[in-house]
Structure 1
Amino acid sequence: MARAVRRYRACADRLLPGRIAGFHVAGFHVVGSAALGAWREGRSDIEFVAVVCGSAPLAVPRLRVLHAPRPSWCAG
């Protein structure tokens, strides 16, 4: 799972440079297979809910790209 998380963070940093680290995270909750200990490389996604403080309306379109159902960055 660590490799998948690294790829996600790298893509997030490209799409939103400095923004992910800049959010004040009030809560972060892993859900789904990863939370249940059933995550499988190449088959499972990593689902989470992040509660952040502040407003970043310009980031919304890029967050949509990052969280597309099967984003291009997740291949390979």
Structure 2
Amino acid sequence: MSPGAEQGLPQCRECLALGLAWTRLLTCMTCGWVACSDDSPGTHAREHYRETDHPVVTALASETTWRWCYVHERTV
């Protein structure tokens, strides 16, 4: 089981459904959806972008200001 699954912490729902573990979680800056990063087996944050055109994500860790834009394939 992936980190936080039993404690009610943020998690990648798609990874949980598929039995995958994630490397780190990202949050969609448009709608707040939480999904796994590109360095995780599922790459569900990128999949969310492809489905919704929500282009910018941030790391779930609150102490970071890092942002990634899928449109431009770079940090913003």
Give TM class, smaller chain. under 0.3
Higher relative CO (CA 8 A, sep ≥ 6), structure 1 or 2? 1
TM-score (norm 1): 0.25
Which is greater in Rg? 1
Q: Which one has the bigger helix percentage?
A: 1
TM-score (norm 2): 0.25
